[in-house]
């Protein structure tokens, strides 16, 4: 199994990196881009036989404590089979 975590800035937070990418896309001729949010993607490989529910709880706790900053970031955690 793998855990996939996507961390992005909250919508209300100014994202200067996202704004830079948005401006670059416009400069390169890509139209219709309303907003860009730059975040991070974390993939964690879990040991075989790991209890899915326990892993979900533990990683959710890790996301809230140090993998994301809950004041300015949102995260999405997904546990998937890696077959």
pLDDT digits (tens, 9 = 90+) for 22-75: 999 999 999 999 999 999 999 999 999 999 999 999 999 999 999 999 999 999
Q: Which domains does the chain have, with CATH numbers?
A: 2-80 (3.30.1280.10)
**pLDDT at res. 83:** 66
Stated as kind and residue range, the H or E segment containing 42 is strand 40-45
Half-sphere exposure in the Cβ direction for 59 (13 Å, CA)? 22
Q: Which two tokens stand for residue 53?
A: 């529910």
Please give the pLDDT value at position 25: 97
Tokens 């979900």 correspond to 56
Reference 40, options 74, 78, 82, 64; nearest CA is: 74
C-alpha gyration radius of the chain: 16
Rounded distance between C-alpha atoms, residue 39 and residue 50, angstroms = 28
Supply the pTM of this predicted model.
0.85
């Amino acid at each position: 199994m793998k855990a996939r975590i996507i961390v992005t800035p909250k919508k209300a937070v100014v994202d200067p990196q996202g704004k830079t990418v948005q401006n670059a896309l416009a400069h390169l001729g890509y139209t219709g881009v309303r907003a860009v949010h730059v975040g991070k993607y974390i993939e964690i490989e879990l040991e075989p036989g790991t209890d899915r529910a326990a892993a979900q709880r533990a990683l959710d706790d890790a996301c809230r404590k140090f993998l994301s900053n809950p004041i300015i970031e949102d995260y999405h955690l997904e546990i998937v089979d890696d077959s």
